[in-house]
Structure 1
Amino acid sequence: MRIPGTLRELQRFFLPAACLGCDAWIPTGLREERVCGPCRARLRPLPSPRCDRCDVPLGTGRSRAASCEECRPWPDALTLARSAVVLAPPADRLVHALKYEGWRHVASLMAERMARIRLPRRFSPGVAAVVAVPTTRARRRRRGYNQARVLAEALPDRRGDVASGVLVRVSGGDSQVSLHPSQRRTNVRSAFAIGENAGALLRGRPVLLVDDVLTTGATAGAAARTVEAAGANGVAALTFARALPYRIRPHRIP
């Protein structure tokens, strides 16, 4: 049912534009994405030093590492993960606006930040198969779209269409929000399946998984394991935001 989205579009054109990140009034030139200049400036890249594999900041007093305690539980299928910004205000509000409030236009700004990340060439759009992490049919029907696919299609350097029907969500599992990392991995272990005729597209080819947020890597790991079993030659995950472990959350980052 598209009425809520339609009402939001009417509000966008006929009411004063408020920033999705801070609710401040937005100058005319920035109203398409509904994010003000100060909030754009507050979208913070992940600080260094970071883990080579999962990109998580390692905290002060530590040197760069090939892997870390955050990604050691990941399956070997998930080669690496990269995220554009820290999941902290205003990034968390932009994620919520895209995922739950129907503000699809903000995806262009989010994808532009994602496109700034330098991926190994084999995982870049145009070389790798770009696969949006699917959501359940019920969530897609409720939202009207899959936010991961909206982000993937908004990537400015992608060539051709994002692969369709390659990865299918076969179970929703419980909400991941309040689960411990090990519970998250169990929750999504059998969440994905390969779509019909997807093997020919994946066989021998690297895959770039696209999603909005990476928290523990449980969802990306389960998806990576599934596409690798179908013949993919290496899997990387690219997300807009990264939720940081408590020990290095923004209030602890100098």
Structure 2
Amino acid sequence: MSVSVAVPVGIAALLRDIVFPPSCAHCHCRTGRHGGLCPRCWSSMRFIERPFCEVLGTPFSHDPGPGILSAEAIAHPPVFDRLRSVALHEGIARDLVHDLKYRDRTDLAPMMAGWMVRAGGEALSACDAVIAVPLHRSRLFSRKFNQSAELARHVARLSGKPFSPRALHRRKRTAQQVGLTANARALNVRGAFAVPESCLPDVFGRRIVLIDDVFTTGATVSAATRALKRAGAVEVTVLTFARAFSGPI
């Protein structure tokens, strides 16, 4: 007969810290707690803060006043309703994305999602569901997990919103977007997404927060947004961890 002994949470946490001391998620130097960055790494992150364009989330060099849109948002309105991102896709932010995506560092997802919840703000508070940009099943098989779904799962948990992992389907395998021009990216993902008929109730009439790891040209999230809006979504907010810019910011 085996007897299980419950270990108090405080003692379990102490034992964990002895075996696995808290360290910076990026440079691995000792820190005061798990799931964070050291002061040096934190200070080098370029977080996207207000003032920024209310639609595209592009930072302004000065504060033009509330509700102001960027020239790009006025000239080329996106199909999604707004975009929010945590940080510029450079330095440590880029390393965190690559560690999660290519080095199986799924332990980073809760920390990154916590920052995304802060960046999502009002859009997350008002949404009805959180949906991730899906991978094609063949790519999911080779990669073993979808980094966007990992982020979305934790964003949903931290914000108290439903996560709908099957509401968006990638119905065709596309080429890797890396290295493609903006036009080639858009053509590559055209018609790539659909909402399964069985999941229409999860989308129709709903306000959706769509999660991806990085926003580059917007081709992927735009194609995904079109599928969601064809299925009846009334609002789509794109929320990413990082945002890439072609010029200086």
Corresponding residue number in structure 2 for 1:129? 129
Which residue identity does 1:174 align to in structure 2? A
Equivalent residue number for residue 236 of structure 1:
237
Please, which runs of 5 or more residues in structure 2 have no aligned partner? 1-17
Among 100, 104, 107, the alignment partner of 1:105 is 107
Aligned runs of 1:167-178 on 2, under 5 Å? Answer: 167-178=168-179
- Which structure is larger by alpha-carbon Rg, 1 or 2? 2
Q: In structure 2, what residue type is equivalent to 1:88?
A: E
Contact 1:215-1:243 within 8 A present in 2 as well: yes
Q: What is the aligned residue count? A: 229
User: TM (normalized to structure 2)?
Assistant: 0.80
Query: How far did residue 186 of structure 1 move?
Result: 1.5
Can you list the C-alpha shifts for 1:164-221, whole angstroms capped at 9, x where unaligned?
2110112232221212222221211111111241111111111110111111111111
TM-aligned CA deviation for residue 247 of structure 1: 3.5
Structure 1 Cα separation of the partners of residues 136 and 145 of structure 2: 10
- Tell me: CA distance 1:55–1:164, structure 2 relative to 1, closer, same or farther (3 Å): same
RMSD of aligned residue pairs (Cα, Å): 2.8
Give the TM-score normalised by structure 1: 0.79
Query: Which of 185-194 and 111-120 deviates more?
Result: 111-120
Q: Are residues 1:44 and 2:49 paired?
A: no
Q: Is the contact between residue 203 and residue 228 of structure 2 (CA under 8 Å) also seen in structure 1? A: yes
| TM-fit CA distance, 1:28 | 6.2
Q: CA deviation at 1:157?
A: 3.2
Distance 1:41 1:204 in 2: 41
Which residue of the partner structure matches residue 82 of structure 1? 84
CA drift of 1:134 comes to 0.5
User: Are the structure 2 counterparts of residues 200 and 61 from structure 1 closer, same or farther at C-alpha, using a change threshold of 3 Å?
Assistant: closer
Q: Which residue of 2 aligns with 1:66?
A: 69
The answer for unaligned runs of 5 or more in structure 1 is 1-12, 249-254
Flag the structure with higher helix content. Answer: 2
Pick closer, same or farther for the CA change 1:71–1:104 going to 2, 3 Å: farther
Q: Indicate conservation of the 8 Å contact 2:193/2:224, yes or no.
A: yes
Asked if residue 151 in structure 1 is aligned to residue 154 in structure 2, the reply is no
